[in-house]
Copies of this chain bind each other. A is one copy, B any other.
């Protein structure tokens, strides 16, 4: 029977755990409400948590020397988000992670995660699977950035993640896809600049 414990369910979808193991796992998480525009990760601070999005939407981005920001990741319901570089290596973050809507996350601290992994090999397996998926996902993105042009990247994105397109502002999507908002606007409206 599918319980209404999202984290336990998530775990069960990936590793063969008992109900008790799933319950123990989910007990390590804390539910936190995050208001729109609130940051859950900021540069300079060491990231304490890995976050599962229960409700809402987030954007992870970096800001370069001249104020230009690049979106690193989005996350909506049932996705995970944090600055993994900071979280995993426990060093200061370089990214911002901000709520795009009023949201609810389930967060697990780095210490608790370590404890879980030590306690039960299946949890270790789970996090390994997560990491592998994340890596695979990122590799796909790198490839797409190298091989596709702006318009192709956009159409691939709306096909793969239609739910996200509807929920994030266009400037965020543009900066995720590596183009200007103006150019994205033009792609959408199919009317490319031309000298009449």
Contact = CB atoms under 8 A, between A and B. Distances in A.
Interface of A: 33, 35, 37-40, 42, 44-46, 48, 63, 67, 96
Given A42-B42, A45-B42, A37 B35 contact: no
Q: How many copies does the complex hold?
A: 2
A38 B43 CA distance: 10
A93 to B, nearest CB: 10
The binding surface of chain A is classed by DSSP as loop
A67 B48 CA distance: 23
Contacts of A33: 67
Nearest to A96: B38
Contacts of A35: 63
Nearest to A43: B38
Contacts of A63: 35
A120 to B, nearest CB: 27
B48 A42 contact: no
A159 to B, nearest CB: 33
Contact of A39 (B39, B46, B48, B67): B39
Contact of A37 (B37, B40, B45, B67): B37
A151 to B, nearest CB: 30
A74 B34 CA distance: 23
Given A35-B63, A40-B44, A45-B45, 11 more contacts: A33-B67, A37-B37, A38-B39, A38-B42, A38-B96, A39-B39, A39-B42, A42-B42, A42-B45, A44-B48, A45-B46
Contacts of A48: 44
Nearest to A35: B63
A115 B39 CA distance: 30
Query: What 5 pairs between A and B have smallest CB-CB spacing?
Result: A45-B45, A39-B42, A42-B45, A39-B39, A38-B42
